[in-house]
Amino acid sequence: MLKLIREDERNAHGEVGRLDHDPVCDCQDYDVMTGFDCVVTQQTDRRASVSVRFVNGATSTSVSFVLARIGNEWRIDDVADPQMPSLRRFLIP
């Protein structure tokens, strides 16, 4: 995921790339975030999904993460929100 984000930044040549918001909070700017509710679903020993609901200022938000286990660490492999079902597919030109 990070490789795709860095590639998007390089391809933008100093301008705003395709990714023009923070996919972790599904926002341009963030305020005080409260009311976190997370549901983790382990699909295999190397894949899991996490659905997160929270309030950013006065805005209720939901974001889903697909996690991949690499060695002993879990990494974000994809991010989805109601307007963008897959950050990975969005970033691939």
Place of tokens 């705003």: 16
SS3 87: helix
Q: Name the 3-class secondary structure at 7.
A: helix
Q: pLDDT grade, residue 28 (50/70/90)?
A: confident
**Full domain range(s) for residue 22:** 2-91
| CATH code: domain of residue 86 | 3.10.450
* Residue 93 pLDDT exceeds 80: no
Cβ-contact 54, 65 below 8 angstroms: no
For residue range 41-68, what is the model confidence (pLDDT) as tens digits? 999 999 999 999 999 999 999 999 999 9
As for how many domains the chain has, the answer is 1
